[in-house]
């Protein structure tokens, strides 16, 4: 079988939408699988472990949705969040103004 050549990334291009969606779906399904395991464990366990697993099963959907929806902005936010007041200064044209 022919080995594929190694590909290097030289730009800051984000992942494609299809890859992003499949990654988000995978993270959500893993979280829901863990939630199901908590429910089953909560039924089978006794004492404090039972209540811990049940609380985990109740709280996990919130975190699963938050993690799954944190898709495309993971690479960092381009904005600084600072407000920059508009200035009244005009841009100069580059031509010398000798009238």
**What's 65-86 look like in SS3?**
HHHHHCCHHHHCCCCCCCCCCC
- Rounded Cα gap, residues 89 and 9, in angstroms: 40
Residue 52's pLDDT is: 94
Q: State the pTM of this model.
A: 0.54
For 26-68, the pLDDT digits (tens) are 888 888 899 999 999 999 999 999 999 999 999 988 888 887 7
Q: Where are the domains of the chain?
A: 33-71
Inform me whether the pLDDT recorded for 92 exceeds 60: yes
DSSP helix/strand/coil, 97: coil
What percentage of the chain reaches a pLDDT higher than 90?
Answer: 27
* Cβ-Cβ contacts under 8 Å for 21 (sequence gap 6 or more): 71
């Amino acid at each position: 079988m022919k080995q594929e050549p190694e590909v290097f990334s030289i730009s800051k291009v984000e992942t494609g939408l299809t890859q992003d969606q499949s990654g988000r779906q995978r993270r959500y399904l893993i979280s829901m699988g863990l939630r199901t395991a908590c429910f089953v464990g909560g039924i089978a366990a006794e004492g404090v472990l039972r209540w811990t697993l049940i609380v985990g099963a109740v709280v996990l959907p919130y975190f699963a949705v938050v993690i799954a929806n944190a898709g495309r902005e993971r690479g960092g936010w381009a904005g600084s969040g600072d407000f920059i007041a508009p200035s009244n200064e005009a841009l100069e044209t580059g031509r010398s103004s000798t009238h």
